[in-house]
Structure 1
């Protein structure tokens, strides 16, 4: 016989269901494209029941981003601490795949949502999460490479990390747009090749 959940367990279970459902909706349609009514319906809840767990759509979005960024940081922490033991191609491939798998959406759309839809307090919270989770791992990696002479001198590390992140956006669609478009692995290899070697000989 299935064990009956306690009230606290049932509350947490429902809350997680809301976060997971909202995650899928927000990442496909953006913040504006999703209503609390839609989230509640997808979860099999009434809106009042939804508001028992989260006071509004903004708080749901914050919970989604908190969970997502926690998952990503945990995945990054599992990578080899000494990135120099791996080739630049290999470490970038692993980092990109983590972001593609854990955050399958348009990252730039997420940033646009943050700066157009949220109050200044939540903007700051979300921007800090974005910096810590997405930007800093690449900045730290590039700083380490710079120490060992692997990248050009005087390269703007912050700009390089931001450009790296923007390069992921076309890859967040796991499925080719057309039959002629290469599969994800090939697209990823091509993107990393351009990032590391550019166009010129």
Structure 2
């Protein structure tokens, strides 16, 4: 019984992993449950045993992706107490590990999924990206390390979005580049983004 359950969990994980790659590469509309089943080397009835339809698979892909990001950022935050270093490590992690092809999934969320799911997806995204950064900024604000955002007519979440938009706009590295070069480039940009957020561009 335990062995069968473990196999079932592994199959479900396989479906989610394979579907993620297909959705990001081809888009929601171009991926069928038949294509997913074939790529997983399982039958369609087996796939439907785990997921009701393609939309259910897509939602699970998103949920899994965002939960993984949330857990990773929570770990980064727990390992770094200093405000500047913590924001740097968050930026560095996202630059290295968040796939740039998420734009395909963002398009599909807006145009392919039922509207009833969008609020739930936004909550997942908020918990994964916005809340961790806002929590770090609020902690710094409470310690007096940064000014209250109301002093310049904005909010903590808006400041978090500023950092996220800088990271999102950063062009991807050439995948053929040596790993050490990719990491160095991400480190330089993460430090720049952190300095822009905390100190602006004016000379000290």
TM-score range, shorter chain: 0.7 to 0.9
Structure with a larger share of its residues in helix: 2
CA distance in 2, matches of 1:72, 1:42: 25
Are 1:56 and 2:53 counterparts? yes
Are 1:86 and 2:82 counterparts? yes
The aligned residue for residue 24 of structure 2 is: 27
Task: Deviation per CA, 1:62-97: give whole Å up to 9, x if none.
Answer: 1112222222222233235485x3251x31232234
CA distance in 2, matches of 1:17, 1:141: 34
Deviation at 1:199, TM superposition (A): 3.8
Are 1:157 and 2:156 counterparts? yes
Number of aligned residues: 194
CA distance in 2, matches of 1:146, 1:82: 19
- Specify whether residues 20 and 114 from structure 1 end up closer, same or farther in structure 2 by C-alpha distance, changes over 3 A only: same
Secondary structure of the corresponding residue to residue 131 of structure 2: helix
CA distance in 1, matches of 2:130, 2:109: 16
The aligned residue for residue 113 of structure 1 is: 108
TM-score by length of 2: 0.76
Secondary structure of the corresponding residue to residue 31 of structure 2: coil
Higher relative contact order (CA 8 A, sep 6+): 2
Deviation at 1:162, TM superposition (A): 1.5
Secondary structure of the corresponding residue to residue 183 of structure 1: helix
The aligned residue for residue 193 of structure 1 is: 192
Structure 1, unaligned stretches of length 5 or more?
A: none
